[in-house]
Amino acid sequence: MKSLGIDFGDSRTGFAVSDELGFGAGTLDNFKSGSIYKVAEYAAKLSNELGVSEIVVGFPKNMNGTVGERGEKTKMFVEKLEELVDVPVILWDERLTTVSAHNLMNVTNVRGKKRKESVDSISAAFILQSYLDSKR
């Protein structure tokens, strides 16, 4: 059962996909757009091309569990995406995934432009992997 992971952002959105068995998540290319609608259309097209059975979207919450402006924008994105796909769209707590992505890039010595281009897709992979691990 293949899953798509999404780290929705204001200017870049990261994507990741699981293997067929749902054990591991790998990164895909980011999509650069500030439009909720364009990102939702791209995500729907990608999910169809990959043949995923579910989509996991990182849900940004504040550390105290409240939902802020980023969370509200993410909800709007999910609503649009749900109109375009026939698979379940799951909101998944993404707290600290960007921190984890930066830590991984520190360890692997990713710097500069490559770091900026990679953080969103790596965050999407962390979100998706967290979800996959919770199902075991």
CATH number, position 82: 3.30.420.140
Beta-strand relationship, 54-59 and 89-93 = parallel
pTM: 0.86
The gap between the terminal CA atoms of the chain, to the nearest Å, is 13
- The Cα 97–Cα 119 span in angstroms is 10
> Are the C-beta atoms of residues 60 and 70 closer than 8 Å to each other?
yes
Q: Is 12 left (phi over 0), alpha (psi -120 to 50) or beta?
A: beta
Domain hosting 45: range is: 3-134
What is the number of structural domains in the chain?
1
Rg for the chain, CA atoms, rounded? 14
Asked if residue 131 has pLDDT above 70, the reply is yes
10 Å Cβ neighbour count for 14? 30
Tens digit of pLDDT for each residue in 81-119?
A: 999 999 999 999 886 565 555 555 455 555 555 545 667
Tens digit of pLDDT for each residue in 17-76?
A: 999 999 999 999 999 998 999 999 999 999 999 999 999 999 987 767 777 788 899 999
